[in-house]
Structure formats: C-alpha cells, structure tokens
Amino acid sequence: MSDSNVRKIGSREATWFLVILFVSKILFADINEYINFSGTAAYIQTAWCAFATLVLFVVTSYLSGGDDIFSASYAALGNVGMKSVGILISALLLLDAGVMFRVYADIIASIALPDSSDFFIILLLILAAGVAAFAGVGTLASYAYIAGIVLVSSLALILVLNIPNYTLSNIYPLLGNGGDKILSGIGGINVYADIFLVFLMSVYFKKGESVKKSGVKAIIISGIVITVTTFLYILTVPYPASSGFALPILEIAFDVNLDVIFQRAEGLFLFLWIFSGFILIGAYLSFSVLSFERTFNLSDRRAVIGVFLLIAVCIALCADTSSLKSEVYTAFYKVFTAVAFILPPIVFGIKRLRR
C-alpha cells in the first residue's frame, strides 16, 4: 500500500507538524548551546537563526518549483542519483530515529521511571513509533494539528506559571558575547533542520502552494516560540549558570512554585517530553520508510517497517554509554543539519539548470 494514496493534508496540519518537530528540540539542551555561544544574547541568536532558516527555505522552495526531492533528484541526477539521495535521506532519518529512541528513553527513565528498565521504555517507544509508521506521514500530520497546539500551550503554561521568577536584569550585557558571536552562531539553524522533510511531503499536500506556505508559517511560529522560551529561560537562570543545566525547560519547571496554589510543574515537562518523543520518533521512522518507498518505488511500504524498527532499536542499543551517546548524537546532528540545508537546494538547483 502506498502511503501517498492514503491521506492528503492541508497547510494547517503540515504547519503544526513541523512546529512540533522544531519546538521539540528546545526540550533538549539546544537552548544551552545558544547560551554557550551568545551568552545573555542567546535569544537574539535564536531570532537570527529563525530568520536565516526562513531565507534559506524560501530560496529552496523557489528552486523546487513545487516538486518533491525524489522527482527532482531523478530529473537532475538520473536514476542512480535519485537512489543515492533517497538512500542517504532514509539512512539519516533512520539513524535519527535510533538516536532519539535512546535519548528519550534515558530521560524518561531518569525523570519519571527510575525503577523501570530502559528496555521497557524503549519497547513502549517502539510500539508508538511502529503505530505511527503504519499510520503513515499523512495520518501523523493530521494528528499533529491538535498535538502541536497542545504542545505549545503546555510549554506556554510552564512559562506563565514561572512569571514570579523572571528577573529582567539577567539580560545584561545586552549583546552577550558580542554581535560577531551572534552572527557567527548561524549553526544554530540545526534546530530547524527538519524543514527539509517538507520537500519529502510534497505528494501529501492537497495544494502545491501549501509546501511553501506551511514551511514559512512553521518557521515563523517556531522562531517566536523558541526565541521567547530562550529569553524567559535567561530571565529565570542568570548567566553564566544558565549555560550549565542540561535540560533548561526542566529547570524552569523546577522553579515553578506559586505557594499554595501550584507547587510543581515537572509533570508538565514530562508531558511535553513524552508527547513530543512519540511524535518525533514516529515522524523520523515514517519519513525514513517513506524515503525508502519512494526510492525503490515499493508497492507496499508496510513490508519494511518491521526491519526499519529493528535497525533503529539496534542503533539505540549501540549508543548505550553516555559518552558514546553524546559523541554520536553531536556528530550525527551536524551531518544531519548539513545534509538537510545543503542537499535540497543543490538537487533543485541542478534540476532547474538542466531544464
């Protein structure tokens, strides 16, 4: 069964689907990376990265002319080129799913289920990711409309509950580690690396112009959410201590204490974490299967889901020790970002030149 025949999605669903993928990143240590780079001006760097991503995306989507990356790579590079691009994307997404299995399982195990084995938690994640992969990208994106709003609302609730702990003087010096650092912090666009998935989804859209529309909207919404969250984290935890906490949103949640009214918000963070984890891993697995399906023109993508799940779990189990996991995650993330932002414009550009 071809997933592209199952369900079409609108611009709204695609927008929120992408918002979930982007915003989920700040639940990890990505805010810390901004702060390590730009200090108290990290929020300016996040806004700058969102703007740069927007420009890159608009240029890429102009070059794409509404095509998806598979048909464009076939037209630009021939059958071998298309297969190479498809395998590369599929492998990267599968690796990402594996790494995410590990990261999410570890955090869930340490925060919420310390007495449970990692295997049990990974098993639950496998179940959710498997269901998501069977459902397909279209179904997952349709579900994401509500899920995205719930995710952003929950994050907003944590930030609102933390209002008494904001100290405005924490933003000084205004330019943090300097304007040159902010500008050279363009590497922070890795948070938006998943934007290239929109060029894999083209066949799912009801209208061709939705590709560009949903991408632009998603980057703007996520840019605002990530910038505001980073700004409020800086107001909560003074620099340089702010660069030392592994999970910034969890630190904000820890700080919430409205006396007798509301005393603990860690549960909200956990909700965000699990919620985004299921969707993120499900999305990577689904897109990996989709890429494989499109690359080899499979008639039934469901046949490969089991194998893909098994490979993802093996990757998760390989990245078992914390140091290895950290190195693997960092190195992989850099490669993933480079491919996500460089591959699509190259493929679409060559196709336009050959036209």
Q: Which residues bind other proteins (CB under 8 A)?
A: 39-40, 108, 110-116, 121, 124, 127-128, 131-132, 134-135, 139, 143, 167, 169-170, 172-179, 237-238, 240-242, 244, 254-255, 257, 271, 274-275, 278, 282
Helix axis angle, 266-296 to 118-161, nearest 10°: 120
Q: Which is nearer to other proteins, 51 or 275 (CB)?
A: 275
SS3 assignment, position 263:
coil
| Phi, psi dihedrals of residue 255, rounded to the nearest 5° | -75, -20
Q: Least distance (Å) from other proteins to the CB of residue 167? A: 8
| Phi, psi dihedrals of residue 172, rounded to the nearest 5° | -85, 145
Q: Which is nearer to other proteins, 235 or 343 (CB)?
A: 235
Q: Which is nearer to other proteins, 279 or 304 (CB)?
A: 279
Tokens read off for 34:
């901004």
Q: CA–CA separation, 57 vs 22, rounded Å?
A: 14
Q: Least distance (Å) from other proteins to the CB of residue 143? A: 6
* DSSP labels, 9-49: B-HHHHHHHHHHHHHGGGGTTHHHHHHHHHGGGHHHHHHHH
Q: Least distance (Å) from other proteins to the CB of residue 311? A: 20
Q: CA–CA separation, 163 vs 150, rounded Å?
A: 20
The answer to whether the beta carbons of residues 304 and 289 sit under 8 Å apart is: yes
Q: Which is nearer to other proteins, 71 or 257 (CB)?
A: 257
Q: Least distance (Å) from other proteins to the CB of residue 209? A: 28
Q: Which is nearer to other proteins, 57 or 104 (CB)?
A: 104
Q: Which is nearer to other proteins, 205 or 278 (CB)?
A: 278
Q: Least distance (Å) from other proteins to the CB of residue 8? A: 17
The answer to whether the beta carbons of residues 262 and 277 sit under 8 Å apart is: no
Q: Least distance (Å) from other proteins to the CB of residue 158? A: 15
Element (H, E) at 51: helix 42-64
